[in-house]
């Protein structure tokens, strides 16, 4: 970790790990930026979790609604999101919550919706108009657009915004320090993620890095959640135990690798180790995890009852440095080798 900071892979980071329900590591490294006078990262520091929003918030909401019989994984989403339908493309009628969760809906990875819409409702309407690139179930394509729509679908079912539902039903229940952007207290406690010279033209601090999530007011199915390493680790331990508020069978259903499309590494809301994997060389085939654009990650190994949380702002001052892809596997390998030595 210290070597990565010297190499300027990221200016700061927080690391937490759990093993069989015990916290075995929890530490902060480095500073908010590369400036010597920048604040030191504490182990309690709050981070922009980026796409960890997908498993921690959106997927968890889907799990609870499915358990309660409110979310059908295989019902067409057009039943609740009629604005997604297109009379000129009948394939859209085949998109369901399962394909959105497994990133096999046929929707593209990304669109700069913030260039054509502003405000939550306008952004959601724009997302609903994004054309399919393939038929649902044909290929796995990691899609932010899919999770924006999934978040909207879940909100329609719950008749409640995602941030309010997750806070009451999951975060407060588990006593976790997670908040979506609009609920943050101030910029001084959170490392900046970027110097935005293109769209917002300012230092991005205490606001979500993702432009689409920002244009949605910071509450979105794909990004917008902030939290600390201990909260992520405690959430991971809950998932590994299959404990409340989730049923063990629900956790198993959502973390098992999908059987199609052929070759996919995705589960419903998570990823699994591929070759090579950001989880390193030692995590078991049953493991599941997720990455975040800002330099965040969470990996869980149910066979070892192990979780590793790594939170960084590798996007500072811009996202050009890809050294995190080398560092993540090394960190996971080192922890596994230490645990099993």
304-327 confidence digits (pLDDT tens): 999 999 999 999 999 999 999 999
Cα Rg, the chain, nearest whole Å: 19
User: What pLDDT does residue 341 have?
Assistant: 82
Q: Is the pTM of this model over 0.95?
A: yes
pLDDT of residue 187: 57
CATH number of 2-44+170-209+230-339: 3.40.710.10
Which element (helix H / strand E) includes 13? Answer: strand 12-19
Count the Cβ atoms, other than its own, within 10 Å of residue 58: 28
Each residue of 189-223: pLDDT tens digit?
A: 899 999 999 999 999 999 999 999 999 999 999 99
DSSP code string of 142-180: --HHHHHHHHHHHHHHHTS-HHHHHIIIIIHHHT--EEE
pLDDT under 70: residue ranges of the chain: 185-188
The whole-angstrom separation of Cα 220 and Cα 212 is: 8
- Provide the Cα torsion 156, 161, 162, 165; round to 10°: -100
What are the domain boundaries of the chain? 2-44+170-209+230-339
32 phi, psi to nearest 5 deg = -65, -40
User: pLDDT by residue (tens digit) across 104-132?
Assistant: 999 999 999 999 998 999 999 999 999 99
- The pLDDT, as a whole number, for residue 159 is 98
What confidence score (pLDDT) does residue 243 get? Answer: 85
Tokens describing residue 235 = 């959430």
Q: Which helix (H) or strand (E) holds 120?
A: helix 120-128
């Amino acid at each position: 970790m210290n070597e990565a900071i010297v190499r300027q892979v990221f200016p700061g980071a927080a690391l937490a790990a759990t093993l069989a329900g015990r916290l075995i590591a929890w530490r902060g490294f480095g500073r908010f930026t590369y400036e010597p006078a920048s604040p030191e990262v504490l182990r309690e520091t709050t981070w922009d979790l980026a796409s960890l929003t997908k498993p921690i918030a959106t997927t968890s909401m889907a799990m609870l609604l499915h358990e309660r019989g409110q979310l059908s994984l295989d019902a067409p989403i057009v039943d609740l999101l009629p604005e997604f339908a297109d009379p000129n493309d009948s394939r859209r009628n085949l998109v369901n919550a399962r394909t959105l969760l497994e990133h096999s809906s046929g929707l593209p990875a990304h669109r700069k919706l913030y260039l054509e819409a502003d405000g939550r409702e306008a952004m959601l309407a724009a997302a609903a108009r994004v054309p399919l690139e393939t038929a649902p179930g044909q290929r796995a394509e990691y899609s932010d657009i899919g999770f924006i729509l999934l978040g909207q679908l879940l909100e329609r079912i719950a008749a409640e915004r995602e941030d309010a539902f997750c806070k009451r039903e999951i975060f407060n229940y588990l006593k976790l320090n997670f908040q979506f952007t609009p609920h943050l207290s101030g910029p001084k406690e959170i490392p900046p993620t970027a110097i935005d010279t293109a769209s917002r033209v300012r230092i991005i601090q205490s606001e979500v890095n993702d432009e689409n999530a920002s244009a949605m007011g910071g509450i979105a199915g794909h990004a917008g959640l902030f939290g600390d390493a201990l909260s992520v680790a405690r959430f991971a331990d809950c998932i590994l135990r299959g404990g409340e508020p989730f049923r063990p069978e629900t956790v198993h259903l959502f973390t098992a690798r999908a059987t199609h499309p052929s070759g996919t590494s995705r589960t419903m809301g998570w990823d699994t180790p591929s070759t090579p994997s950001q989880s390193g060389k030692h995590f078991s085939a049953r493991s599941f995890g997720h990455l975040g654009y800002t330099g965040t990650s969470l990996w869980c190994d149910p066979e070892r009852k192990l979780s590793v949380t790594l939170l960084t702002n590798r996007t500072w001052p811009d996202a050009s440095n890809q050294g995190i892809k080398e560092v993540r596997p090394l960190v996971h390998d080192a922890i596994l080798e230490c645990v099993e030595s």
